[in-house]
């Protein structure tokens, strides 16, 4: 069967998934990748006495649901199935006990997991509070946050290689004495940057919050009371920090354990990095998603579309079988992890393309009809998944801990192969492969945006479904698409029918209440949890965020992640002094002349590690706060290298002084490659020219090098430009929830599904 892949899908596959030889050349086609994965998954049947014919038939079925893009397993499965590593799980949770031995043994295991491409989740709640006395040494404890910083530094050191970067979830119970320090530990976004953090809220805390009462803190070492905090004060602090930069998130830990399928094995303390997979210590998550954007058919009267329930049943049943087999062929990095994973055989089947499906069906995301369909669709998936798990249990046996599970307590005659079956996981990269397809259950983030190509020729990229509708309804025009690319919403765009505007809503058109209700509708039929970001406009108040948390708890959610637009310090900024830029452009109509150098000028010098050595880059600004000149110095450079660096500095300085837009300079120099690339502070540096570009971008595009009189709150915070890895293209759209630039390809990063990710190349911080 022919595989219909988008241009962006092919680019992501080549960059991250398809096999390469020792020189980095791609030696595998997408079809061969899906064949490789299907073959490995079907091979698990050999251990259960299946015939070659049965195995071959199953392999073909697995191949077809992937090649049709109706189902995708998690990224490690696509990358590693059939190779020497063979590590197919996306994430793991590890225990941390209150001893130096446990802390650093777990750190060692973490490094091994990160090296294999996995993410890790921890609860630091068992570590004694800061300044507690350590009897064995006579010293004092440094507390959970200090050890989080140790783990963060180790992650930074390990994550440089491989296709996926290590990411962590750090959790602390709300009744831990160090909870205040934990809540504020990411106030500076540059610290503990390899962690997402969440506060584990208890039912007791939420009950006391309703009454405004104090609650007890518990010393994790002695298990005795360690004082009291006021519930409202702590909750307000959580809200304040989340409003400021999106962290911490919250998980409702007692609700998670209420639905713990194997309570005899212990309590669940932590989740994976995006929060959707609560796991016992040493368990790993085995995830996959049905692309519901493709599971539709014509209605009986041919006037529209409806969910193809029969096809959804078939894909769901095959996906459950696929994920169960994955557990058997998985090469996990440690014996304890292998044992824990096979002991419960947890899988997490979810969906992606939900927003795209709603649009196809003509249903607004923020409507009662959408909430009702979410309820019906996820209930259907869970029901069919359980039926298939029961059938597999009859054939292959129950999961080893079945006898102590909630299933056995309810009805021991109903066998289950898997302790859990459903999870709504982030699908950032696999939804690109299956695209055009919206991520997870998230709404659309943009209808249209600009892509600039060679010679400043602008191309407008439009959501395929919107373009299809616009042409069918005969309101499509390039001019209209350009207007949409400049806007964050369709609401104020003339020439678009109202019914189309109603269906094509974006994340910021949707009220936080509907975001939460949609999450709750899917959670109702999700064994594990739901990864989703509740988007707020920049103008959202603290009270708005607080209401969302309360609604999430009351609606049955297991946790919540929020993000207020433009709340991250590192968010790409656009210099606000538009009048100064305009003044530069109008220096000499018809003729460009450099500004004369003033008597005194100030600047900053930045050191960047390049493949040729440390490069020192100085950028000076004039009294108006505009960039004026650039100098470079490399200690061991001489001859040709020194002259080339001087030439670049002179030409960039000339461009600054002549009013050339900084964006244009960056476009020309970014990602120029030399034979000796390097890494600097987590960024790939392709050459000295590329290093110069990074510094220009950092110092000028985020306001750092502006005149001291220009304070951050005077700087316009709307995202205008971001650049991709090809050097001459960029996307422009202010409606996206943008939080920075991709370290791999230079495209925009956005906060989605509880994580930071790039829609262009598939990079994910998680």
Runs of H (alpha helix) within 415-537: 428-433, 464-472, 478-486, 498-503, 512-523
Topology adopted by domain 91-271: Anaerobic Ribonucleotide-triphosphate Reductase Large Chain (3.20.70)
Q: What Cα–Cα distance (Å) separates residue 518 from each residue in 357, 515, 572?
A: 14, 5, 30
pLDDT at position 8: 87
pTM of the model: 0.80
Is 7-86+274-433 assigned to CATH 3.40.50.150? no
Averaged pLDDT in 10-residue chunks for the chain of 766 residues: 88 93 94 98 97 98 98 96 93 96 96 89 97 82 96 83 72 98 90 94 98 97 95 98 95 98 97 96 96 95 92 98 98 96 98 97 97 98 98 97 94 92 94 93 88 54 92 93 84 92 94 97 98 92 97 98 79 32 44 72 85 86 82 68 84 87 86 76 82 88 42 28 34 47 65 75 72
- β-strands 119-123, 91-94 pairing: parallel
Runs of H (alpha helix) within 91-230: 100-115, 144-158, 179-183, 203-211
282: phi then psi, degrees, rounded to nearest 5: 75, 0
State whether residue 689 is helix, strand or coil.
Answer: helix
The number of residues making up the chain comes to 766
Q: What is the rounded end-to-end Cα distance, in angstroms, of the chain?
A: 33
Residue by residue, DSSP assigns 569-598 as: TTS------HHHHHHHHTSSTT---PPPPP
Residues 6+ apart with CB under 8 A from 115: 158, 161, 162, 166
Helix 368-396 × helix 512-523 angle, to 10°? 20
CA distance 282 to 261: 16
CA distance 295 to 345: 27
Tokens 């208890």 -> residue? 202
pLDDT at position 703: 44
> CB pairs under 8 A, 24+ apart, for 466-474?
466/500, 466/504, 469/500, 469/504, 470/496, 470/500, 473/497, 473/500
State whether residue 547 is helix, strand or coil.
Answer: helix
Q: What Cα–Cα distance (Å) separates residue 677 from each residue in 471, 674, 680?
A: 46, 6, 10
Tokens 């006391």 -> residue? 208
CA distance 150 to 192: 9
What number of other Cβ atoms are within 10 A of residue 29's Cβ?
Answer: 14
Q: What Cα–Cα distance (Å) separates residue 171 from each residue in 156, 183, 240, 261, 707?
A: 19, 10, 18, 21, 40
- CATH 3.20.70.20 location in the chain: 7-86+274-433, 91-271
Closest listed residue to residue 574, CA positions, set 663, 658, 652, 487: 663
Runs of H (alpha helix) within 527-631: 542-555, 578-585
**In what order do the strands lie in the sheet containing 755-758?**
738-741, 748-752, 755-758
Closest listed residue to residue 602, CA positions, set 710, 705, 714, 711: 705
Helix (H) or strand (E) holding 140: strand 139-140
CA distance 123 to 94: 8
Residues taking part in catalysis: 272, 274, 276
């Amino acid at each position: 069967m022919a595989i219909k892949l988008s241009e962006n899908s092919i680019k992501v596959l080549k960059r991250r998934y398809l096999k390469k030889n020792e020189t980095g050349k791609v030696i595998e086609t997408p079809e061969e990748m899906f064949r490789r994965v299907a073959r490995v998954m079907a091979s698990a049947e050999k251990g259960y006495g299946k015939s070659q014919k049965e195995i071959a038939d199953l392999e073909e079925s697995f191949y077809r649901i992937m090649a049709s893009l109706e189902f995708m397993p998690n990224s490690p499965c696509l990358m590693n199935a059939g190779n020497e590593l063979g590590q197919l799980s996306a994430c793991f949770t590890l225990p941390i006990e209150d001893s130096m031995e446990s802390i650093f043994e777990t750190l060692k295991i973490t490094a091994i997991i990160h090296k294999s491409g996995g993410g890790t989740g921890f609860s630091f709640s068992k570590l004694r509070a800061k300044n507690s006395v350590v009897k064995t040494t006579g010293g004092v404890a440094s507390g959970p946050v200090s050890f989080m910083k140790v783990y963060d530094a180790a992650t930074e050191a390990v994550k440089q290689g491989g296709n996926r970067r290590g990411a962590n979830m750090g959790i602390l119970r709300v009744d831990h004495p160090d909870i205040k320090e934990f809540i504020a530990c990411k106030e500076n976004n540059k610290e503990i940057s390899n962690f997402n953090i969440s506060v584990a809220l208890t039912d007791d805390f939420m009950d006391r919050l309703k009454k405004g009462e104090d609650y007890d803190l518990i010393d994790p070492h002695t298990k005795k009371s360690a004082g009291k905090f006021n519930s409202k004060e702590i909750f307000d602090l959580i809200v304040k920090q989340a409003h400021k930069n999106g962290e911490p998130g919250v998980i409702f830990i007692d609700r998670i354990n209420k639905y713990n399928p194997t309570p005899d094995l212990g309590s669940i303390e932590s989740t994976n990095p995006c929060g959707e997979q609560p796991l016992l210590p040493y368990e790993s998550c085995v995830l996959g998603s049905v692309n519901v954007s493709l599971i539709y058919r014509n209605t009986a009267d041919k006037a529209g579309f409806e969910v193809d329930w029969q096809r959804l049943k078939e894909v769901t049943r095959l996906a459950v079988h696929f994920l169960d087999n994955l557990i058997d062929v998985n090469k996990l990095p440690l014996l304890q992890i292998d044992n824990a994973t096979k002991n419960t055989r947890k899988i997490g089947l979810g969906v992606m393309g939900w927003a795209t499906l709603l649009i196809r069906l003509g249903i607004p995301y923020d409507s009662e009809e959408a909430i009702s369909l979410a309820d019906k669709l996820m209930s259907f998936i869970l029901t069919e998944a359980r039926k298939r798990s029961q059938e597999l249990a009859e054939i292959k046996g129950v999961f080893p801990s079945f006898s102590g599970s909630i299933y056995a307590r309810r009805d021991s005659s109903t066998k289950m192969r898997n302790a859990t079956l459903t999870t709504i996981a982030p699908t950032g990269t696999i939804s690109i492969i299956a695209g055009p397809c919206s991520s997870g259950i998230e709404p659309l983030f943009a209808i249209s945006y600009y892509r600039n190509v060679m010679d400043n020729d602008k191309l407008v990229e439009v959501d395929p479904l919107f373009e299809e509708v616009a042409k069918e309804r005969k309101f499509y025009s390039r001019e209209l698409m350009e207007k949409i690319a400049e806007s964050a919403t369709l609401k104020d765009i003339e020439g678009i029918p109202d019914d189309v505007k109603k269906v094509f809503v974006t994340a910021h058109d949707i009220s936080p209440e509907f975001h939460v209700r949609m999450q709750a509708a899917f959670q109702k039929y999700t064994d594990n949890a739901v990864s989703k970001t509740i988007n707020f406009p920049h103008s959202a108040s603290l009270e708005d965020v607080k209401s969302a948390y309360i609604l999430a708890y009351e609606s049955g959610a297991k946790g919540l992640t929020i993000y207020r637009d433009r709340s991250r310090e590192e968010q790409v900024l656009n210099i606000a002094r538009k009048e100064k830029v305009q003044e530069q452009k109008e220096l000499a109509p018809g003729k460009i002349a450099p500004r004369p150098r003033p008597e005194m000028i100030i600047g900053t010098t930045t050191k960047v590690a390049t493949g040729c050595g440390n490069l020192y880059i100085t950028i000076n600004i004039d009294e108006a706060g505009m960039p004026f000149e650039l100098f470079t110095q490399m200690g061991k450079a001489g001859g040709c290298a020194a002259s080339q660096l001087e030439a670049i500095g002179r030409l960039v300085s000339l461009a600054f002084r002549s009013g050339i837009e900084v964006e244009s300079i960056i476009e020309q120099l970014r990602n120029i490659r030399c034979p000796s690339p390097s890494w600097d502070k987590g960024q790939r540096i392709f050459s000295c020219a590329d290093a110069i570009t990074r510094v220009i971008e950092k110092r000028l595009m985020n306001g750092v090098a502006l005149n001291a009189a220009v304070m951050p709150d005077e700087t316009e915070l709307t995202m205008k430009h971001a650049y991709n890895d090809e050097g001459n293209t960029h996307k422009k759209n202010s409606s996206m929830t943008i939080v920075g630039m991709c370290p791999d390809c230079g495209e925009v990063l956005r906060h989605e599904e509880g994580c930071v990710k790039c829609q262009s190349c598939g990079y994910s911080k998680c």
